[in-house]
């Protein structure tokens, strides 16, 4: 009995001493360990990639698939979307994502970083992601703030849809030209760093050129209703370039998203989501993905 009392007292004293010494973990340092104070080229590129993936295969893809009757919405918010019941805020997150969270702000920082170290090939990959986001953004939303979107102190004006498409084509031309030459000197190391976190082709420049040419062809087709005959030869020319047959369809990339025969002001985000994670309308129903808005 004495031993038990002694043991109990010893354990109690140890617990008190331990709790007194462990109070430090409750103190808030004021530093968020998840914040990247100084983003690297690699972290900015990962952010841009994830934004492109989310834009291509997120809510816009689900809604587009329901409204084109590839999927049936029968549960929660999708039961309303299936009957075209929606509000103006339905795509707020996706619209904001064009600019934040791996959108234009981070992409432009990545491009500036690439230019500062002389890696035009690194900049080209950022440019292709930017072109994808804003080409598809113009297709879905129409007029967009683009040219003046990151100018401090003034509200960004809306750029006409056709102007955004034209700017995107020029951006893709610049990216293709940059990818036609291999990195040299100090830029080689930076391109290697970026390639290590490039989730699609490991930095393969020929395949990224194929993506860029595929996007050019797609966006020319998007403008065909407005531009008329010139859009079709331009689309064929982009698709016929040697790099466009380099095999860009086997990975999860902006180039993989299926092109729709959309005219001005129409179009939909990539449909690859529906072919992998949801049943066709004729087979069954759609269960909302984890984390979907309710």
What pTM did the predictor assign? 0.73
Q: pLDDT over 90 for what percent of the chain?
A: 51
Which structural domain, as residue segments, surrounds residue 55?
A: 38-277
The answer as to whether 49 is a domain residue is: yes
- 117 sits in the region (left: phi over 0; alpha: psi -120 to 50; else beta) called alpha
CATH number at residue 126: 1.25.40.390
The answer as to whether 289 is a domain residue is: no
Q: Read off the pLDDT band of 271 (50, 70, 90).
A: very low
DSSP 100: S
What's the count of helices (H) and strands (E) in the chain, helices before strands? 13, 0
Q: Which pLDDT belongs to residue 272?
A: 32
Cβ neighbours around 128 below 10 Å, total: 26
Q: Read off the pLDDT band of 243 (50, 70, 90).
A: low
The answer as to whether 132 is a domain residue is: yes
Q: Which of 99-108, 112-121, 224-233, 272-281 has the lowest mean pLDDT?
A: 272-281
Identify whether the C-beta of residue 273 lies closer than 8 Å to the C-beta of residue 55. no
Mean pLDDT of the chain, nearest integer: 79
Identify whether the C-beta of residue 271 lies closer than 8 Å to the C-beta of residue 257. yes
The answer as to whether 4 is a domain residue is: no
Q: Which pLDDT belongs to residue 54?
A: 92
The answer as to whether 111 is a domain residue is: yes
Dihedral, CA of residue 69, residue 162, residue 56 and residue 49, to nearest 10:
180
Q: Is the pLDDT of residue 42 over 70?
A: yes
The answer as to whether 293 is a domain residue is: no
Total tally of structural domains belonging to the chain: 1
Q: Which pLDDT belongs to residue 198?
A: 94
Q: pLDDT over 70 for what percent of the chain?
A: 71
Averaged pLDDT, 201-214: 95
Q: Which pLDDT belongs to residue 2?
A: 55
Q: Which pLDDT belongs to residue 264?
A: 34
The answer as to whether 13 is a domain residue is: no
Tens digits of residue pLDDT in 54-107: 999 988 888 888 899 888 888 888 888 888 888 888 889 999 999 999 999 999
The answer as to whether 219 is a domain residue is: yes
Q: Read off the pLDDT band of 19 (50, 70, 90).
A: low
């Amino acid at each position: 009995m004495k031993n038990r009392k002694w043991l109990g007292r010893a354990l109690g004293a140890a617990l008190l001493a331990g709790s007194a010494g462990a109070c430090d973990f409750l103190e808030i340092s004021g530093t968020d360990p998840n914040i990247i104070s100084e983003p690297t080229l690699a972290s900015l590129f990962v952010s841009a990639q994830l934004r492109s993936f989310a834009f291509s295969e997120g809510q816009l893809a689900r809604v587009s698939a329901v409204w084109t009757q590839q999927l049936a919405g029968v549960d929660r918010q999708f039961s309303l979307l299936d009957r075209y019941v929606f509000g103006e805020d339905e795509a707020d997150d996706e619209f904001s994502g064009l600019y934040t969270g791996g959108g234009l702000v981070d992409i432009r920082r990545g491009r500036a970083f690439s230019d500062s170290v002389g890696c035009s090939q690194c900049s080209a990959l950022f440019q292709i992601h930017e072109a994808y986001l804003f080409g598809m953004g113009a297709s879905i939303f129409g007029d967009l703030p683009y040219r003046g979107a990151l100018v401090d102190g003034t509200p960004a004006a809306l750029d006409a849809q056709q102007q955004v498409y034209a700017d995107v084509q020029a951006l893709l031309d610049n990216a293709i030209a940059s990818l036609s030459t291999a990195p040299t000197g100090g830029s080689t190391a930076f391109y290697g760093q970026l390639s290590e976190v490039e989730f699609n082709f490991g930095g393969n420049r020929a395949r990224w050129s194929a993506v860029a040419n595929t996007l050019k062809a797609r966006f020319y087709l998007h403008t065909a209703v407005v531009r008329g005959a010139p859009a079709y030869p331009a689309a064929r020319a982009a698709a016929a370039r040697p790099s466009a047959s380099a095999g860009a369809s086997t990975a999860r990339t902006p180039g993989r998203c299926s092109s729709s025969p959309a005219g001005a002001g129409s179009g939909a985000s990539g449909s690859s989501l529906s072919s992998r994670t949801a049943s066709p309308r004729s087979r069954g129903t759609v269960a909302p993905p984890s984390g979907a808005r309710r």
